[in-house]
Amino acid sequence: MRSVRVPILVGLILAMAGMVGTLSGVTGAQESTPAIKDQETGTVELLDGYVAALNAHDGQEVAGYYAEDAVVTQAVYEGNTFTGRDEIARWIGDNVAGLPDLDVSVVSVTGADDRLVREWVYWGAYTGQFPGAPAGEGQTVELRGVSVMELEDGEIVRETLYYDNLSFLTQIGVMGAATPAAN
């Protein structure tokens, strides 16, 4: 089995300091993202803009929600870390290249002070290509995961992503379907 490092766009949905509480039932079809705090904090407007930039595949705008020296790590790949806004924007671009119709939704968010834990889902048709993977043939991809984010001064300073990489690699044709072991 060959080793493949495939960047995944996930975990970039909420990014504002001081968010406290829980969101649930957020889907891409909704017009606005519910806020954890009241509207006076500007959280609703910021979250709406962030989600809109992500679903518009605007890597530069999404990267603007991160601190200049932010670090994003995909825990499923050893050493797969993106540091700074430029690398984060490039990472988003790589993901959109694989899933040109990528759509991301927040399922739930729980947070306190400067830390958020978000559950998300993304889906799209794999019609492009991820670095190190075969070209897409239109396979439908749906991936669920969780991100842990650290916030400071209204920006994301660190994010760690966790998701089912075997499911993802199977969906894009890198791995064969898993079969249960015989007893």
pLDDT of amino acid 48:
62
Q: What integer is the mean pLDDT of 59-86? A: 92
Q: Which residue has the higher pLDDT, 82 or 39?
A: 82
Q: Which two tokens stand for residue 132?
A: 């190190």
CB 164 within 8 A of CB 145: yes
Q: What is the tens place of the pLDDT at every residue in 55-69?
A: 999 999 989 989 999
Residue-averaged pLDDT of the chain: 74
Q: 54: part of which helix (H) or strand (E)?
A: helix 43-55
pLDDT band at 118 (very low <50, low <70, confident <90, very high): confident
Q: Which two tokens stand for residue 134?
A: 């075969």
Rounded CA separation 93/97 (Å): 6
Q: Which of 4-13, 99-108, 125-134, 171-180 has the lowest mean pLDDT?
A: 4-13
Residue 16 pLDDT greater than 80, yes or no: no
Q: What is the tens place of the pLDDT at every residue in 27-55?
A: 333 333 333 443 334 344 555 666 778 89
- The residue among 171, 121, 154, 97 whose CA lies nearest residue 11 is 121
Task: Sketch out the chain's domains with CATH numbers.
Answer: 21-171 (3.10.450.50)
